[in-house]
Every structure is written in C-alpha cells, then in structure tokens.
Structure 1
Amino acid sequence: MEKDTRKDDNRNTYVLQGDESIGSVQIADEVVAMIASLAATEVEGVSAMAGNITNELIGKVGVKSLSKGVKVQVAGNTVKADLALCLEYGYNIPETCSKVQEKVKNAIENMTGLTVTDVNIRIVNVNMEPGN
C-alpha cells in the first residue's frame, strides 16, 4: 500500500526552504506551471492557454489541465517558463505579451520566492470571435 501513497514522488519537486530544525518546504514544478497559467490568463487580451484553458473553465476541469500550454524548468532557485497562448483579435501582440511576461514573473516570484529568468511566449492562435 505504500507504493500508492508515493505516486507523487515521480513529480519534479524543488526545495524552497530547508530548515532541519523544522522541516522543509518543497514545490512541484506543476504548481509553478499552474501559477504561470493563472497569471497569464488574467491579462486582458489573452483568450486562453494552448489547450483552451481559461479562468472560467478552471473550476470545471482537473488540475492536470490547468498547466497545459506551460512548460517550466527550475534550476536551483531560478525558473524559466515557456507559455503557449491564444490571444484575442484586436490586441497589440507585443504589448499584451509584455504584460503577460511581467504578470507571470511577478506571480511566480511572489508566491514561490524563486527568481524568474525567462518568460518565453509563443502565440499559437488568435481568437477571431467578437468578445463579450
């Protein structure tokens, strides 16, 4: 039965804080990816992450789906994030991407204490349907 409780051991986790007198704090790379995904979809002009995950749908889908369109690489205390985004038609792409980069960087750094070195964005689609 112990093998069933250790399924999460296969995920990549990183020590955020190690104090042997109290214990340690670890974070899974999936959590960093979820933070990036949520931050990106909060920016006006971002339609969804690749895979059509929007903030409105998050409550209806599983946690695994939340980090679709995001790849993170954690090395030591630094993070590199790669995001695949769908944008709304009519928004300035460089300006919107700059806002996403700043929001993702701030969200990851504030929530984890890790340093974000790169937030790379790939535009995979432009939503041509009129907004609400």
Structure 2
Amino acid sequence: MTEKQAPKAPSTTALEQRGTGTLASEDGRTSIADTVVSKIAGIATREISGVHDLGGGAARVVGALRERIPGSRTNLSQGVAVEVGERQAAVDIDIVAEYGVAIADLAAAVRRNVIASVERMTGLEVTEVNITVHDVYIEGSDEDAEPSAPASSERGVSEVPSEVPADRPGQPGQPEVDVADRVADAVLAVPGVDALHPGAFGEIATYLPGRRVAGVRITDDRCEVHVVLQWPAGIAETTEAVRAAVRAVVPGPVDVTVGDVVGPGAP
C-alpha cells in the first residue's frame, strides 16, 4: 500500500459551529446537508485524471458489491468524509491512484478541484482537504477483471419519492390544485433543480386528502422546501432562484434545504 499523506481528521476547531451548513437571511434559511458536500467532493475528485477509485479496501469491496445489484447507483460519496459548519467545511478523501502518476501532483490537483467545486457550488469556505492514497492501481491486475457494474442513473425516484401522484391534481376526476402543488411546480421549473426531496425519513411533505406533496411544507408564517440539485449548479444562486419562485406563489420567508445532488450524466 502506498500512502503519500497520513490521514488527518477534519479540524473541528477550524470550523464555525459544527452542524449542517446553514446560510440565513431575513428572507429565509438555506441549509446544505452533509451528504451534498461529500458528493460534490467525490465528483470533483473523480474528475481528476489519475484517480482510479475512491475509498479504502473495505469501502471499495462494499461499493463493488453494491454496484452489481440491478438498479443500484454509484455511491458518489464513497471514500469521502466531511465536517460542515455554518460557513466552513473540511474534507477527508481516500483515493486509489493509477500507476505512473506523480502522487504529490495528483493530490494537489484533487485538492484544488475539490476546493473550487465545493466553494463554487455551496458558498462554504473549505478550510482543508486531507488526502490519503490507499493503493496504486496497475492496469491488468485482478481488479481489472471485475465485471462492470450495470448502467444506473443517479436521477430517479428510488430514494426520492415522487412529489405528486402520476395523475396530476386539477385533471378531470382529480383533486383540485393546492397551493403546495403550485409551489412544487414552481420549484421544479427552476434550472438546476432535479427533484423535490422528502427529507431523511419522508417527513417533509404537505398532507392533503388522499395524497401528499413531498418536499414542501407550508405553515402559517413560512414555507419550507427541500430539493435535489443537479451537478454543477451553484447552490447559492439556485436556492435564491427557488426562494424567488416560491415567494411568487406564497409570501413570507422561504427556507430551502439542499438534501442531495445528482452527478453529471444523469438523464
């Protein structure tokens, strides 16, 4: 095993208040889930030529088994750990380098791309990117004989349930359109938004007679929206556009939470 840099846990003292990244204003809050930051870092790492895979040995074995399951998706955050504060983030990345690349140069390129991608998309300051090289991949090795994973799509509904029924409200025989439906349609029309996100346990929803609108929760004084963004949409700009679209439907503060991000090439 080749290791260029010893792993170092993200520095919590360098972060401003541990927890999900939140940007607050009088118009509402923008929250960024940790998994979004880890996926952005994972995608940015894979973009660098010379990176063969992410994760330590156990993580790669689990990932290979997972990808053989029909309909499964590549785990874009494999090998990535993050600490996210109010305005800052720190990242740990485990990689497998291709044989022949200069590891110091590879690590520097990964670090630059991760910092640029996370800061551009989230607006968070990246305080450090710690890179551990777990192995070197040699073409033609036993690993190369592994069967390829079935084609999969990061864009879908297996993890993000449909935000409205297939039969749209307002059609003949269907319930009348609710304000939550109008909010959902406005959000989905914003460029860079892939889908509405129902929350970790499906708890973010507006419940209506016989159905629910996932990803939208409206109270007397504010509206809460959870979304899935498309790579490489900027989070600050996209969430502001979401907020403006929602306020055109319902007045008052709008809290936007980015619950996930889909990778490049998703249909």
TM-score range, shorter chain: 0.7 to 0.9
Look up the SS of the partner of 1:66 in the other structure: coil
Q: Distance in 2 between matches of 1:115 and 1:39?
A: 16
* Cα 1:87/1:61, change in 2 over 3 Å: farther
Q: CA deviation at 1:40?
A: 0.4
Q: Which residue of 2 aligns with 1:45?
A: 50
Secondary structure of the corresponding residue to residue 120 of structure 1? strand
CA distance in 2, matches of 1:115, 1:36: 13
3-state DSSP class of the match of 2:48? coil
The structure showing larger relative contact order (alpha-carbon pairs under 8 Å, at least 6 residues apart) is 1
Aligned length: 114
Deviation at 1:75? 2.5
Query: Structure 2 unaligned runs (5+)?
Result: 1-18, 141-267
User: Which has the larger share of strand?
Assistant: 1
Q: CA shift at 1:61, angstroms? A: 4.0
Q: Tell me the equivalent position of 1:29.
A: 34
**SS of 2:136 mapped into structure 1:** strand
3-state secondary structure, aligned to 2:78 = coil
Aligned CA RMSD, in angstroms, stands at: 2.4
- Asked if 1:18 is matched to 2:55, the reply is no
For the residues of structure 1 that align with 2:98 and 2:79, how far apart are their CA atoms? Answer: 16
Q: CA deviation at 1:62?
A: 3.5
**Structure 2 length-normalised TM:** 0.39
Q: State whether structure 2 residue 83 is matched by structure 1 residue 83.
A: no
- Greater fraction helix: 1
The runs of 4+ residues in structure 1 deviating greater than 6 Å are: none
Partner of 1:103: 113
**Under a length normalisation based on structure 1, what TM-score does the superposition of the two structures give?**
0.77
Q: In 2 relative to 1, CA 61–101 (structure 1 residues): closer, same or farther, beyond 3 Å?
A: farther
Larger Rg: 2
* Runs of at least 5 residues in structure 1 that lack an aligned partner in the other structure: 1-11
Contact 2:45-2:51 within 8 A present in 1 as well: yes
Q: How many Å apart are 1:32 and its aligned residue? A: 0.1
User: Counterpart in 1 of 2:128?
Assistant: 118
Is 42-51 or 94-103 further displaced after alignment?
42-51
Paired residues of 2:97 and 2:136 also in contact (CA < 8 A): yes
